[in-house]
Amino acid sequence: MRPLDFILILDFGSQYTQLIARRVRELGVYSEIKPACTPLAEIRALRPTGLIFSGGPNSVYDQDAPSVDPEIFTLGIPILGLCYGQQLFAHLLGGKVQPSPHREYGLAEFTVLQDDPLFESVDKHTRVWMSHGDAVINPPHGFVTIGATNNAPHAAFVDHSRKLYGLQFHPEVTHTVAGRQILQNFLFHVCRCKASWSPQNLIETTVAELREKIGKEEVICALSGGVDSAVAAALVYRALGAQLHCVFVDHGLMRKNEGEQVRATFAKLFGESFHYVDAAQTFSQRLQGVVDPEQKRKIIGEQFIRVFEAEARRLAGIRYLVQGTLYPDVIESFSPRGGPSVTIKTHHNVGGLPADLNLKLIEPLRELFKDEVRRLGKALGLDENIIGRHPFPGPGLAVRILGQVTPERLALLREADDIFISELRASGWYDKTWQAFAVLLPIQSVGVMGDYRTYEMTIALRAVTSVDGMTAEWVHLPHELLAKISSRITNEVRGINRVVYDISNKPPSTIEWE
């Protein structure tokens, strides 16, 4: 049941829309997302405590730009417009928006010009995250400018009489230093919400929905051994018990000894509900000669489903497939709500699904981010060794080998990755990073070992910190640690003679290389 206090977010196509919802829930307030085209009558019937307009890739003056019924501003509830959302305020209410002479993408210095409840406990000068090519030139009548940057003189404005706030920057992104405080101020000082949302609420709601939806049907769960699928399985198991069958498909693309470890862990956790399938040879054959990363992902996604369909037939009577899909997977693969978001990469469990799928999908984590999933796993009682693991892509090492996936290349990458992770654990850096892994590059270079010339492969090391996977910063690992890891890899892994370290943030890079 929806709490009395909740925030409705209208999606205008931003890559960060779900991140806004995550931030709101993180602060203890329930939130829902609806497309920008949601009829006003439906919005009114939902009775939200406040509204947030997301950003988006369009210009408000484009012919087909997404918009809202201007009557929405008469609902009498607080509304916060972010980036495109702020510009839409100006466009619809008589202000002026035009292309900015200086595009802003990245960090900017923001100055609070006037005290306001929205900026309570926010420093007068602070860093914010900008991503825009247009800017408000003239705010609408009744609005007061309360903040600015060098390139956005009206970076924050407000109409106090109607409780309408507009921000040119993105408070939902972790790079905005005071972003959490600003959203907290909007929720509790402007909207007067009460914090009443928690992982336990989510468990109770999801369990009830699963029982109502599935009834007495049998369910199969795609269990990879990672955090996402483990939590999804535990959540469904809480709802359905023995109706759930967890299937672990070993596609031969896992890290060193990982298949055996996953098999032992989850056979103990789920007992007779756990099923193991060795499909390594099948996946290897399907990937033979494939270089394009999108094609790899789609092949792996389809093959996964075929294996699960076969298992469902063997178990008989299975109609539902549970997957641990998270929202970062979804928003990087396509825009799920009809917004004009851009496809970044196709995730094997989203865009890779075949059109003739014979199982109905159950994705209980589809609206969540990684840190929320970990908190949910803890509330479900899962072991810290499971919920504390670094993220691992469903396509496995196939998308950490640039170029063809061969047994020889898999062996090289497994050994190098194992050395990297073991040294991170030994040094205490594993738990200080959000994700770390090795990538095998299709680059050979000249080296020397002893008195002999070598012409061998290159390994790239990647370690990042993040909260939700939407943004990430590279980890400043100690030089001594990197030197030790590099020395071990080049000495112990025959076929590798060069190691490099990736110092790219997300954005502009993605965390995985493919």
Helices (H), ranges, 346-478 = 370-379, 384-387, 407-427
- pLDDT > 50? residue 336: no
pLDDT in tens, 81-137: 999 999 999 999 999 988 877 666 788 999 999 999 999 999 999 999 987 678 899
CB 157 within 8 A of CB 143: yes
Q: Between these two residues, 271 and 460, which has the higher pLDDT value?
A: 460
In the prediction, which pLDDT does 184 show? 98
- Residues 310-334 have a mean pLDDT of 76
* CA 454/CA 496 separation, integer angstroms: 9
Here the tokens at position 11 are: 């999606």
CB 13 within 8 A of CB 57: yes
- pLDDT > 70? residue 508: yes
Which DSSP string corresponds to 43-97? HHHH--SEEEE---SS-TTSTT-----GGGGGS-S-EEEETHHHHHHHHHTT-EE
- Residues 329-338 have a mean pLDDT of 50
* CA 301/CA 306 separation, integer angstroms: 9
- pLDDT > 70? residue 327: no
Q: Between these two residues, 50 and 229, which has the higher pLDDT value?
A: 50
Nearest alpha-carbon partner for 127 in 176, 166, 82: 176
- pLDDT > 60? residue 343: no
- pLDDT > 60? residue 455: yes
In the prediction, which pLDDT does 389 show? 85
- pLDDT > 50? residue 491: yes
CB 463 within 8 A of CB 476: no
Most confident of 207-221, 319-333, 370-384, 404-418: 404-418
Instruction: Tell me what percent of the residues of the chain surpass a pLDDT of 70.
Output: 92
pLDDT in tens, 467-489: 777 789 999 999 999 999 999 99
Question: The whole model's pTM is what?
Answer: 0.66
Here the tokens at position 419 are: 């050395």
172 an active-site residue? Answer: yes
Q: Which positions ≥6 away from 174 have C-beta within 8 Å? A: 466, 467, 468, 471
Of these residues, 26, 83, 154, 258, which one is catalytic? 83
> Dihedral of CA 477/430/277/318: which sign?
negative
* CA 163/CA 151 separation, integer angstroms: 25
Burial of 180 (0-12, 13-18, 19+ CB in 10 A): middle
Of these residues, 91, 132, 154, 170, which one is catalytic? 170
pLDDT-derived band at 338 (thresholds 50, 70, 90) equals very low
* CA 60/CA 67 separation, integer angstroms: 8
Here the tokens at position 359 are: 């199982």
- Residues 206-216 have a mean pLDDT of 92
In the prediction, which pLDDT does 324 show? 87
CB 477 within 8 A of CB 488: no
CA 313 to chain CA centroid, Å, is 33
Of these residues, 26, 172, 258, 423, which one is catalytic? 172
* CA 351/CA 183 separation, integer angstroms: 33
Phi, psi (degrees; rounded to nearest 5) at 110: -110, 135
Q: What is the DSSP letter of 190?
A: I
- pLDDT > 90? residue 342: no
